[in-house]
């Protein structure tokens, strides 16, 4: 059965690949083994759900019994421009979190595609997925011909580089494989720019990462005190990190996204640290960042991150805000604020 491309032509999907939903063979066994070893080494940090996903990561039928096909989709998000280097101390935001949450932007498109497919094939089931499900999107996207996995562990695609969100639809209907036509794009043999650019040494090479050292993990996923040894290496990043992507030569000339949701600055690329440090509670945090990926971190983690950035930027002007946080209700915020004050006090 040929996939009816008309069902997604109005959804602004940039990349499409279709593969069988098989989960057998040497390649699958090897990838499952690599993933299992990655978990055993503790590289997933405190993200316990990744360990729970082990038995489903490379097995689509475990998500949708009777799955026959996987429709892989990509949506580009590159936002151009350099940081403004404001005179006021600012926290840096990853480009992907500039605007609207991609789970919402890509998710609603995939849900509409699934509904369209269900209308065309009422006897079959269609389940949309993004990275909120156990499936290894990058693995299947590479098999579908959307790109290849770079040494930083991200999928690199022709025209869009690694600035792409991935998702797809699982289907009980068998569609003919329809991979994207790839160029000869590959990482330059001797290139290690992404690895050497990582401030914390989180990249282990050949697409492997120690999440426990990754700034994106530390600022977004890690719920607790950030190890002191890593704090100075985090620079001004308060949500995510783009260092490895900015360093990648294959990202040069990436197309600018045309998605209005990604271009609308909810968080933007920089936020004054004073603004973040003054967020009093979760309600105020949600009002400020509703619809943004920053909601994922929550108020306490974002304020914790801002404390670290203030110390790294030698922002002594923020000492009053940091001292106010010594009375905060969150113990991690209090500890991090106290540490930042200790770092800044000798500079006054």
Q: Would you please indicate which residues are annotated as catalytic (active-site) residues?
A: 131
- Cα 161–Cα 165–Cα 168 angle in degrees, nearest 5: 125
**Residue 79: which of 301, 240, 274 has the closest Cα?**
240
**Residue 150: which of 110, 203, 187 has the closest Cα?**
187
Paired tokens of 346:
């000798």
Return the DSSP state at 63: T
Residue holding tokens 């940090």?
Answer: 45
Cite the DSSP H helix spans in the chain. Answer: 26-40, 48-52, 102-120, 137-143, 193-197, 215-216, 228-231, 243-247, 260-263, 273-277, 282-289, 298-312, 319-324, 331-344
CA 139 to CA 136: how far, in whole Å? 5
Length of the chain: 348
Chain-centroid distance of CA 326 in Å reads: 31
CA 200 to CA 209: how far, in whole Å? 11
Rg (Cα) of the chain, in Å, rounded?
21
CA 228 to CA 164: how far, in whole Å? 32
CA distances 59 to 37, 66, 143, 264, Å, are 17, 11, 14, 36
Paired tokens of 61:
């039928």
**Residue 165: which of 94, 87, 234, 237 has the closest Cα?**
94
Paired tokens of 269:
């690329």
Paired tokens of 326:
């010594």
């Amino acid at each position: 059965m040929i996939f009816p491309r008309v069902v997604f032509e109005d959804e602004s999907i940039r990349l499409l690949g279709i593969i069988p939903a098989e989960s057998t063979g040497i390649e699958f066994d090897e990838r499952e083994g690599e993933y299992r070893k990655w978990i055993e080494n503790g590289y997933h940090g405190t993200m316990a759900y990744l360990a729970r996903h082990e038995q489903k990561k490379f097995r689509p039928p475990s998500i949708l019994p009777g799955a026959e096909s996987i429709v892989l989709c990509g949506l580009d998000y590159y936002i151009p421009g350099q940081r403004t280097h404001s005179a006021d101390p600012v926290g840096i935001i990853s480009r992907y979190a500039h605007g609207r949450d991609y789970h919402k932007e890509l998710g609603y498109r995939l849900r509409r595609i699934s509904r369209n497919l269900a209308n065309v094939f009422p006897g079959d089931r269609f389940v949309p997925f993004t990275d909120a499900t156990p499936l290894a999107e990058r693995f299947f996207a590479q098999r579908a011909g959307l790109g290849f996995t770079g040494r930083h562990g991200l999928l690199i695609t022709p025209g869009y580089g690694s600035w792409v969100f991935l998702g797809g639809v699982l289907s009980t209907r068998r569609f003919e494989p329809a991979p994207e036509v790839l160029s000869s794009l590959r990482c330059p043999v001797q290139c290690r720019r992404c690895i050497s650019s990582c401030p914390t040494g989180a990249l282990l090479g050949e697409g492997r990462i120690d999440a426990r050292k990754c700034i994106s993990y530390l600022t977004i996923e890690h719920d607790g005190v950030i190890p002191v040894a890593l704090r100075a290496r985090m620079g001004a990043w308060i949500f995510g990190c783009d260092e490895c992507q900015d360093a990648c030569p294959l990202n040069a000339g990436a197309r600018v996204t045309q998605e209005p949701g990604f271009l609308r600055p909810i968080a933007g690329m920089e936020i004054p640290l004073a603004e973040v440090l003054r967020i009093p509670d979760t309600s105020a945090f949600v009002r400020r960042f509703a619809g943004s990926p920053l909601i994922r971190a929550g108020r306490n983690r974002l304020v914790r991150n801002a404390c670290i950035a203030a110390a790294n930027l030698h922002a002594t002007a923020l000492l009053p805000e940091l001292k106010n946080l010594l009375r905060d209700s969150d113990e991690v915020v209090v500890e991090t604020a106290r540490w930042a004050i200790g770092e800044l006090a000798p500079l006054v």
